[in-house]
Amino acid sequence: MIDFAALTAQALAFGFTNAGPLRGETLEFLPQVRQMCAADRCGLYGRSWTCPPHCGSLEECAQRAGGYRWGLLVQYGQPLADPFDYETMEAAGQRHRALFAQFIPLLRRQWPGLLPLGSGGCSLCQACTCPKAPCRHPDLASCSMEAYGLEVGRVCDANGLPYGAQGAITYTGCYLLE
């Protein structure tokens, strides 16, 4: 059994502002969430190995993630000076992505089959090699929860982790363990 109290404490000590256990049976792979990726608001659709369509179909993603019984939800959040505090939003997003990527090798020591699902598209490299060459960092690269069809707020709610505090920005990712 996973010691979630210790794992949560480790995540908080690492720098995440909130963390908690995730039950695999709460994951719902929703086509409408996955379809939002096709709108390409982030500019990575079809241009990153970790984004649709290169990360696999929704069915393939659901099959890949569906075998995990447990995971760890992690969040990094910051209060906003006002609703248009884009500087803090961007800085918090960058901090979350850095923490998320740096925590992967630590967790892989105990869970070699770890499946990391982050917040937004992969940002490890300044420019992704997709589709001309293989990924430079397949051991650190992570798809987003949304690319897997997961509605982040719903996953948080189902697992008792607050999501979307007023006057703050919060980025959420998860690590599926086993």
- Weakest mean pLDDT among 35-49, 54-68, 78-92: 35-49
Residue 119 has pLDDT above 90, yes or no: yes
For every residue of 45-92, DSSP letters joined together read: TTTSTTSTTTT--HHHHHHHHHT--EEEEEEEEEE-SSTT-HHHHHHH
Work out the pLDDT band at 41, boundaries 50, 70, 90: confident
Work out the pLDDT band at 101, boundaries 50, 70, 90: very high
Q: Please write the tens of the pLDDT for every residue from 49-60.
A: 999 999 999 999
The residues that bridge with 171 in the sheet, in sequence order, are: 76
Write down the pLDDT at residue 121: 84
For the chain, what are the domain ranges?
4-177
